[in-house]
Amino acid sequence: MVEEQAEDEGMVEEQAEDEGMVEEQEEDEGMVEEQEQAEDEDEGMVEEQAEDEDEGMVEEQAEDEDEGMVEEQAEDEGMVEEQAEDEGMVEEEDEDEGMVEEQEEDEDEGMVEEQAEDEGMVEDEDEDEGMVEEQAEDEGMVEEQAEDEDEGMVEEQEEDEGMVEEQEEDEGMVEEQEEDEGMVEEQAEDEDEGMVEEQAEDEGMVEEQEEDEGMVEEQDEDEGMVEEQEEDEDEGMVEEQAEDEGMVEEQAEDEDEGMVEEQAEDEGMVEEQAEDEDEGMVEEQAEDEGMVEEQAEDEGMVEEQAEDEDEGMVEEQEEDEDEGMVEEQAEDEDEGMVEEQAEDEDEGMVEEQEEDEGMVEEQEEDEGMVEDEDEGMVEEQEEDEDEGMVEEQEEDEDEGMVEEQAEDEDEGMVEEQEEDEGNGRGTGRGRGKW
């Protein structure tokens, strides 16, 4: 009987090829009614399913899914019959060449006869709160409908762009069914038991579902979205997220390559210089293996300072400070010398430090220094600082050298250097004020 229905040349072909039936199903003014039916399904079927799932309907659906879950959804609350009967659809099916006759032939065979002739069955089943269960439990009707749907009706219903989309996009029906805490697991179990295999083996159903503009994609997204997400995470999503969110990882990689170090040095150099200036730029200069020497070599200023200090320049400075030099310096500071010093420091001192024989650039750009930092130079410097350099500096500060330099800077050494620069002994940055 099923084979005869499946082989029924008129019914399947006319249902599949019927230009008006699918278009009318898609464009049918009763699509709203289907949506209302879908809403009613949401209000009734899903609730009943949810309640029945708690009571055991999910298990029955799982068993019925083995027998015809798709058919049950298709048949649910007479959706197929109502679609067929919707605003003349049955009349068009009756008018359809040979379809009613073939249905009557199938009615002679049994199933369509009961569906078509039973005028009250659809209404009773629609009104019957247990219609789905009765339809699902109806061993002959569901199986025959399942086979017929496999041959054509379900294919048309599944191909129906509006019906499937409405069923799937329906206010939570499919999502609730699929997202249900047990439904997906039971569907997975049913897939293990053969439902998916039967659907996959179904002659044309899977192909039509795959050709369907959204159903298979949505089913694939519903059934495989997590897997695809996991695969995408393995293949790229996590990488993209890691790239989007994991700038730190790239920064970590860049740290291995030197970018973060250079950025850190670029971004932090001025800050370090500022902090070092606040904390003791002279200390940093003293710590720098070449900076003191370069400063010492820089136009002889440090040497001259050292010589002047050896010769009594500091004493003269102190005497001059006692005599009024500090006052003049204070006046000059009031007049703008401090501002000029600040401006010169902004305009010249940092530039001088950065431009000074490429020291800063060498520190930042020097491939060897970055490599040394990668290899451990910074760590060694930090370890050395931990081991004694900072302690020695602190000891030197305790001994007075750095403090004297700081005091000299506070008292006028730096100012005198700048004055000396103005007098011609400095770096050539004289302000012309002196």
pLDDT for the residue numbered 146? 54
What sign does the dihedral 367-368-371-372 (CA atoms) show?
negative
Q: Are 41 and 173 in contact (CB under 8 A)?
A: yes
What's residue 434's pLDDT?
A: 40
CA distance linking residue 209 with residue 217, whole number of Å: 9
**Within a 10 A sphere around the Cβ of 270, how many other Cβ atoms?**
13
- Tokens at residue 265, please? 């040095």
Q: How far apart are CA 20 and CA 87, in angstroms?
A: 13
Mean pLDDT of 160-165: 56
Look at the block and give the residue holding tokens 């002659």. Answer: 203
- Rounded Cα distance, 42 and 81, in Å: 19
What is the pTM for the complete model shown?
0.13
Q: At what angle do helices 413-423 and 337-344 cross, to 10 degrees?
A: 80
- CB hemisphere CA count around 143 (13 angstroms): 10
13 vs 254: CA distance, rounded Å: 65
C-alpha 367, offset from chain centre: 36
172: left (phi over 0), alpha (psi -120 to 50) or beta: left
Q: Tell me the percentage of the chain whose pLDDT exceeds 70.
A: 1
Cβ within 8 Å of residue 285, ≥6 positions away: 291, 292, 295
What is the percent of the chain where pLDDT is above 90? 0
List pLDDT tens digits, range 377-387. Answer: 556 555 655 66
- Secondary structure of 225-276 as H, E, C letters: HHHHHHHHHHHHHHHHHHHHHCHHHHHHHHHHHCHHHHHHHHHHHHHHHHHH
In this predicted model, what pLDDT tens digit does every residue of 287-308 receive, in sequence order? 655 554 555 566 555 556 656 5
Q: What tokens does 253 get? A: 């990689």
**Alpha-carbon separation of residue 433 from 116, 419, 422, 423 (angstroms):** 112, 9, 7, 9
The answer to whether residue 327 scores a pLDDT higher than 50 is yes
pLDDT at 419: 72
What average pLDDT score do residues 389-403 get? 56
- Using the predicted structure, report yes or no on whether residue 284 has a pLDDT greater than 60: no
C-alpha gyration radius of the chain: 44
Burial per residue of 219-255, b for 16 or more beta-carbon CB atoms within 10 angstroms, e otherwise: beebbeeeeeeeeeeeeeeeeeeeeeeeeeeeeeebb
- CA–CA separation, 22 and 160 (whole Å): 6
* Residue 39 predicted with pLDDT over 60: yes
SS3 call for 336: coil
pLDDT score recorded for residue 24? 62
Q: pLDDT per residue over 181-234, tens digit each?
A: 665 566 656 656 655 556 556 555 546 655 665 555 566 566 656 566 666 656
